[in-house]
């Protein structure tokens, strides 16, 4: 193999879910009753729910936005930031999470396929702005000056996730696909391991419990992300 090939970087795609932020104190979604912090998904994480009662939805996200600003990244976030800086690695970090803990641990170019809690978007003009405060019906768009038109910049059920083409291209040409802290219940993220297998890419799952996708992975390790991820990165 030509010398340059030995110098080529290993292409790794990592998908993270709520489990990687659990040890930071951010609640996961796996309520056995299928509720999200006591709310039906349809009521707080869908365009229909927002159209029905935007104040309820704002309050749901305002509480999560305040919480996320009180917590810190954990060892798993820091280990992935270290992996992203490793000379021999070309890391594509995709997250289902809407918190900013990967960035605060030092990761760059994080692909938030379900959007970002600390950003807001105008329904009328589409502008996306940083958002660390509570949103409400009274929120005014700083660009078009519209009222009651700001929404959380997150992907609700029935909405198209961000970056799917980029994610698909990265997975199909990866040397390894790794999922961390995800139950494999939400699509299309839950399909990524299948996309990887169809491309002959080795797959690894790091998760506290068996997930809906565990059987699809070549290898599945059980444990807390705060232990498994630093050990894997080492
Ligand atoms: C779309 C942002 C298409 C908002 C989120 C029927 C069958 C199949 C699919 C569907 C269907 N009906 C509808 C669909 C599609 C739907 C879907 O998948 N529904 C599910 C419920 C069946 N998907 C969509 O609607 C998506 N869009 O399909 O669009 C389309 C096509 C054309 C045109 C237009 C559209 C959009 C989905 C995005 C929804 N938004 N988030 C917000 O956060 O408020 S989803 C949200 O929930 C998260 O982002 C995440 O994706 C998901 C939760 O999953 P996890 O992250 O895995 O978290 P969870 O709590 O479930 O699991 C945590 C895991 O960690 C557990 O396994 C646990 O054991 C582990 N863990 C816990 N602690 C630790 C740990 N692991 C390690 N260490 C620890 N310490």
Residues in the chain: 234
The Å distance, Cα 107 to ligand 1 centre, comes to: 22
3-state class (DSSP) for residue 170: helix
pTM for the full predicted model: 0.95
Q: What is the CA radius of gyration of the chain?
A: 18
Q: Does domain 1-26+73-114+161-234 have CATH number 3.40.50.1220?
A: yes
| Ligand 1 centre distance from Cα of residue 6 (Å) | 38
Closest ligand 1 atom, CA of 36? Answer: 44
Nearest CA to ligand 1 atom 23: 187
C-beta 24 within 6 A of ligand 1: no
pLDDT of residue 1: 46
What's the fold here for domain 29-70+116-154? SIR2/SIRT2 'Small Domain' (3.30.1600)
**Known binding-site positions for NAD(+):** 17-36, 96-99, 181-183, 207-209, 225
Half-sphere exposure of 20 (CA within 13 A, CB side): 31
Reported ipTM: the value is: 0.95
Q: What is the pLDDT of residue 29?
A: 83
In the chain the beta strands, taken as DSSP E runs, fall at 10-16, 89-95, 111-112, 115-122, 128-130, 150-154, 176-180, 203-207, 219-222
Which residues of the chain fall short of a pLDDT of 50?
A: 1
Q: Which pLDDT score is estimated for 32?
A: 52
Could you state, in order of their start, the residue ranges of all structural domains in the chain?
1-26+73-114+161-234, 29-70+116-154
For ligand 1, is residue 46 a contact (CB within 6 Å)?
Answer: no
CB-ligand 1 contact for 22 (6 Å cutoff): yes
27 Cα–ligand 1 center, Å: 14
Which residue has the CA at smallest separation from atom 75 of ligand 1?
Answer: 19
212 ligand 1 Cβ < 6 A: no
């Amino acid at each position: 193999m030509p010398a340059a090939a030995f110098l080529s970087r290993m292409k790794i795609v990592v998908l993270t879910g709520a489990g990687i932020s659990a040890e930071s104190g951010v609640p996961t979604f796996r309520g056995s009753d299928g509720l999200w912090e006591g709310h039906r998904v349809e009521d707080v994480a869908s365009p229909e729910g927002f159209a029905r009662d935007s104040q309820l939805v704002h309050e749901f996200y305002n509480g999560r936005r305040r919480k996320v600003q009180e917590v810190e990244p954990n060892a798993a976030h820091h280990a992935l930031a270290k992996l992203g800086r490793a000379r021999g690695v070309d890391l594509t970090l995709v997250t289902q999470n809407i918190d900013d803990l990967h960035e605060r641990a030092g990761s760059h170019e994080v692909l938030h396929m379900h959007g970002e809690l600390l950003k807001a978007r105008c329904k009328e003009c589409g502008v996306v702005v940083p958002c660390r405060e509570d949103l409400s019906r009274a929120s005014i768009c700083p660009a078009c000056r519209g009222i009651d038109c700001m929404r959380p910049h997150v992907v609700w059920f029935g909405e198209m996730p961000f970056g799917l083409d980029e994610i698909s291209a990265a997975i199909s040409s990866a040397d390894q696909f790794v999922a961390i802290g995800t139950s494999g219940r939400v699509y299309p993220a839950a399909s990524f391991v299948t996309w990887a297998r169809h491309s002959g890419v080795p797959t690894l799952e790091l998760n506290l419990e068996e997930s809906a996708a565990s059987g699809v992975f070549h290898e599945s390790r059980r444990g807390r992300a705060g232990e498994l991820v630093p050990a894997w990165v080492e």
